[in-house]
Amino acid sequence: MAQVAGRNLAVSWVAGVLCATVIGGLLWFALPIVPALVEFVGAALRDFFP
């Protein structure tokens, strides 16, 4: 991590962990749509390549 004048390393780590937690939570909530997305893409590919 690059050191920028006036930035605290501990605050940077806390912010990074918080951002990673939020992204992980969003991915967790998005998991149930994966089977529907796979079905949609499969149907689209079947229609595109007869």
- DSSP class of residue 4? -
If one counts every other C-beta atom within 10 angstroms of the C-beta of residue 12, the result is 14
* pLDDT of the residue at 28: 96
CA distance 33 to 25: 14
**How does pLDDT run along the chain (50 residues), one tens digit per residue?**
556 666 788 888 999 999 999 999 999 999 999 999 999 999 999 998 87
* pLDDT of the residue at 14: 92
* pLDDT of the residue at 22: 98
pTM summary value: 0.63
CA distance 17 to 22: 9
